[in-house]
């Protein structure tokens, strides 16, 4: 079967220029069908959404997840550092979005190793990858709130300024003229400021 996959991959990569992209797409679709019949094509488990985990955290124990959000509090305990996080959706680069209205709730991340709470003060944006441990209930104002509980494997703290738009770099050249006015300066192309 591995030979068939190699043939499909190599054959599909060589054929687009000869048979057109439509036919190459059909060839690749056939190869995907081979993979679905007991082949060895890699396929990971589907990613769990925060909404799924929040609805039934106990049923997802041990499952890997990546969540992010805004730190609400961090507290050092005997069993590790407990971080309460306001969940926020992640961008393609796993950065939490800044729109707090998009939150679907809160979760708690527990890090076994020492983590000084001063390094992640309230308001810090973080992304956490780890495993679901179940849930825990803590007081929230005058009520009790059930938090999905996550064991931290990796934790990324985002800079305070990661949300600033990148500076637009504009070309100043390509020659001695810029606009309607003559310039005595010539900048090699591309020159940016």
pLDDT in tens, 30-69: 444 444 444 443 444 558 999 999 999 999 999 999 999 9
Domain ranges (residues) in the chain? 2-35, 50-157
Write the burial class of residue 103 (CB in 10 Å: 0-12 exposed, 13-18 middle, 19+ buried).
middle
Cis peptide bond N-terminal to 121, omega within 30: no
Q: Partners of 134 in the beta sheet?
A: 149
Options 3.90.1300.10, 2.40.50.140, 1.10.530.10, 3.40.190.10; CATH of 50-157: 2.40.50.140
pLDDT tens-digit series, residues 119-160? 999 999 999 999 999 999 998 999 999 999 999 999 999 986
Write phi, then psi, for 40 (nearest 5 degrees): -110, 25
């Amino acid at each position: 079967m591995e030979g068939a996959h190699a043939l499909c991959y190599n054959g599909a990569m060589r054929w687009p220029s000869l048979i057109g992209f439509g036919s190459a797409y059909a060839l690749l679709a056939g190869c995907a069908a081979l993979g679905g019949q007991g082949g060895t094509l890699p396929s990971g488990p589907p990613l769990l959404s925060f909404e799924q985990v929040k609805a039934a955290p106990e049923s997802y124990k041990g499952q890997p997840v990546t969540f992010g959000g805004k730190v609400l509090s961090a507290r050092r305990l005997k069993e590790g550092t407990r971080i309460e996080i306001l969940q926020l959706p992640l961008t393609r680069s796993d950065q939490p979005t800044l729109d707090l209205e998009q939150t679907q709730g809160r979760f708690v991340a527990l890090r076994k190793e020492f983590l000084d709470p001063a390094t992640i003060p309230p308001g810090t944006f973080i992304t956490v990858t780890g495993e679901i441990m179940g849930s825990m209930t803590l007081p929230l104002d005058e009520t009790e709130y059930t938090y999905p509980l996550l064991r931290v494997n990796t934790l990324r703290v985002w800079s305070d300024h990661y949300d600033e738009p990148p500076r637009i770099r504009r070309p100043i050249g390509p020659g001695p003229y810029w606009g309607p006015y003559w310039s005595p300066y010539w900048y090699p192309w591309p020159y940016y400021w």
